[in-house]
Amino acid sequence: MFRSVFLVLGVVVTGLRRKSNKHSSAIDHSLNSTGIVENKFPSNWPYLGHCVRPHGEGGLYDKTVRQCKSRESPPFTRDSRIAIVGGGPGGVSMARLLHDRGYTKITLFEKSDRLGGKSQNYNYKGENHDLGTCYLAGKYECIEAWAGDLGLTEKVINVPRYVSSPTTPSQKNANQMLTNHNFDVLEWWMAMKSYGLQVKVNNVAEYVESFGANFKMAGQKYIQEWGKTMRTTEYMFPTNPDFKALNQTFLSWLQERDLTALVPRLHVSTGGQGYGRLDSMPALYGLMWNHPNLLSGFGQHSMIKEGYQTIWDHLLDGTGVDIRFQQSITKITRGSWRPSRRNIQNVKTTTSDDDFDFLVMAAPMPDALAMMDYTDEDLDLFGSFYHHELVATILKESSSGDLPRNYELFTWADTLNVQTDISRRTFNSRTDSASSKMTSQIDGEDGPMTIRQTANIKGFKQNVIGTLQISNTATTDDRLKELVLDSLGDYGIKASVLYQKRWPEYMPHLSLEEIVKDRKPWRMWAHQGNKRTWFVGSYVSFESAADVLDYNIQLVNTNLCEPN
């Protein structure tokens, strides 16, 4: 079957425990590695100031803690012993933020033998390939700053994305669009058709002529409307949004504000990450992911040459944080808060029994409830989430087929709209265990949605590519590999599978009713600190490393204070 192609613009650990060396060279935040590309935002840019201007008040590098207000008590002090459960981006970034602000008695428990969670490297002949978290873009300024501190290298994606469709115009027109870089045409036609939106121009040529101006105007309006709905400029998670505006899907929110000119790009930027369709995604998630910094055009779409996991592997170097790997926690007992009595947070593992003063729960929910003395509110808030399953496949490419040898990204635009398989994972309080069940939203399409030509992007010697797909959890590994190879074969691409990784609990999320009617994200926010516990990670924010870190910064800046 022929399809047209279009152009669219580690740490060495001995044993199971690691104590980060307090005496290793301190990181100088005033120096930025030349390996990181600076995002040049205007000096008066209002959004995410703590990352765009990280040395300012409340910024990533601001080590000061505000004074407590009258009758306000800090959640913990600098003498407190803090346990962090979970070594993914949520747990590691929280450990670093607390350490930088003077909270040094930190122990981090991780059940595996590595840090990073869904940020995982696959090493092939000395070169790291991302199996989960992979990109940097606008709104990732804080992560870029940390990557620069660690001396990592940012590789910008320079070649516009190629997209495909079985229902494109003639090959002659396709070649013309390829030459003229009029890549927006295909994205526009495919997205409009996918969402049943009306075409407001008479022909392709008329659309091409007007697209740039329409997109720019819609982008400027989007940023204004985003602010009106989210009612915040400083953080990605809104603590006091316009709930009426959020009571709809993301597509409906765009239509209500006459912003459908943005649908083609949002279709790819959102669906291409495995987050689902615009017409089924709650507006809150669409707006959190498509933050003004992401759409501003000031950020670079790029990757970390050394692999995303490398950030989390080394972020705690020199901090003295007690990192314990391969920890099987059997029970966490949290004492109730009483001023006349010292509160104890007891963490038992198969090999240790330790007392702490405060707990940060960064392990994935709902499964993490099994190790806790959970309350009814804990169970209601964290006991059930929807998920996608993300599958990453790493392949050795021997021929790029119909694609040019220098391609960097390729997206199946014609199948992107059906990457919608969803499961629901629920905790059973009777058995103290969680299980998953596929919902009725099974699309029957488990093929890949994106190729990432890692060798071209990162400048690697080995010609290795990666694909991403959203699948039914019941689909076998062999079938998933077969679908990838068949889809590549449609374009003459020859490759062999090196490794495959399935993430069955990718993108934990809630339904529109749970978000707006039940107000669960804001009840989670209000719940922070109860029983001397913080809950962090993608299940309280959104499935991106940038959102997880930003939520942690918001939590720290809002709650930490120095007692008077």
Higher pLDDT, 160 or 203: 160
The range of the structural domain enclosing residue 325 comes to 13-64+79-153+305-382+514-559
141/154 Cα distance (integer angstroms): 12
Q: Average pLDDT of 145-172?
A: 76
Instruction: Give the pLDDT band (50/70/90) at residue 183.
Output: very low
pLDDT band, residue 541 (cuts 50/70/90): very high
Task: Of 483, 1, 441, 470, give the one whose Cα is nearest residue 274.
Answer: 470
Average pLDDT in the 206-222 region?
A: 78
Q: Where are the beta strands (DSSP E) in 277-372?
A: 302-304, 322-324, 329-334, 345-349, 353-356, 358-361
Confidence tier at 27 by pLDDT (50, 70, 90):
very low
Does 193 map to a domain?
no
Structure confidence at residue 268 as a pLDDT band (50, 70, 90):
confident
Higher-scoring residue by pLDDT: 526, 204: 526
Q: Are 147 and 336 in contact (CB under 8 A)?
A: no
Q: Rounded to 5 degrees, what are φ and ψ at 248?
A: -170, 175
**Measured between alpha carbons, how far is 347 from 378 in angstroms, rounded to an integer?**
18
pLDDT in tens, 215-251: 789 999 999 999 999 999 999 999 999 999 999 999 9
Local confidence band at 174 (pLDDT 50, 70, 90 cut-offs):
very low
- Supply the pLDDT for residue 269: 86
Confidence of residue 336 (pLDDT cuts 50, 70, 90): low
Asked whether the predicted pLDDT for residue 560 surpasses 60, the reply is yes
Share of the chain above pLDDT 70, in %: 84
Report, as an integer, the average pLDDT of 191-196.
71
Average pLDDT of the residues in 334-349: 71
Which pLDDT tens digit goes with each residue over 465-504? 999 999 989 999 999 999 999 999 988 999 999 999 999 9
**What are the φ/ψ torsions at residue 525 (nearest 5 degrees)?**
-65, -45
pLDDT band (50, 70, 90) for residue 186: low
Residue 399 lies in a domain: no
For residue 292, pLDDT over 60 is answered with yes
Q: What is residue 524's DSSP assignment?
A: H
Mean pLDDT computed over 109-136: 97
pLDDT of residue 201: 58
Residue closest to 329 by CA, chosen among 272, 285, 367: 367
505, two tokens = 């609990």
Q: How far apart are CA 410 and CA 450, in angstroms?
A: 6
- For residue 468, being part of any structural domain is answered with no
What number is the average pLDDT over the span 544-561?
98
Q: According to the model, what pLDDT value does residue 184 have? A: 46
In a domain, 246, yes or no: no
The Cα–Cα gap between 461 and 473 comes to 34
- The answer as to whether 236 is a domain residue is no
The reported pTM is 0.91
**Cα 301 from Cα 156, distance rounded (Å):** 6
For residues 496 and 397, is the Cβ–Cβ distance under 8 A? Answer: no
pLDDT of residue 259: 94
* pLDDT mean across residues, the chain: 87
- Domain-located, residue 198: no
Report how many domains make up the chain: 1
Q: What is the pLDDT of residues 93-117, one digit of tens each?
A: 999 999 999 999 999 999 999 999 9
Confidence (pLDDT) at 299: 81
DSSP single-letter state for residue 447: S
Q: What is the pLDDT of residue 216?
A: 83
Task: Give the pLDDT band (50/70/90) at residue 176.
Answer: very low
Q: What is the pLDDT of residue 480?
A: 95
Task: Return the higher-pLDDT residue of 240 and 414.
Answer: 240
Residue 283 lies in a domain: no
In a domain, 564, yes or no: no
pLDDT the model gives residue 165: 55
Residue 418, pLDDT score: 76
Q: H helices within 357-498, ranges in order?
A: 376-382, 454-458, 477-489
pLDDT band at 523; cut points 50, 70, 90? very high
Are the beta carbons of 126 and 342 closer than 8 angstroms?
A: no
Residue 348's CATH number: 3.50.50.60
Longest dimension (CA), the chain: 80
| pLDDT at site 194 | 73
pLDDT (0 to 100) of residue 166: 52
Q: Which residues contact 138 (CB under 8 A, 6 or more apart)?
A: 39, 291, 293, 294, 295, 296, 297, 298, 299, 300
What length is written for the chain?
A: 564
pLDDT > 90 in the chain, percent: 70
Report residue 159's pLDDT band, with 50, 70 and 90 as the boundaries: confident
Tell me the mean pLDDT in the region 201-216. Answer: 67
d(CA 162, CA 531): 51
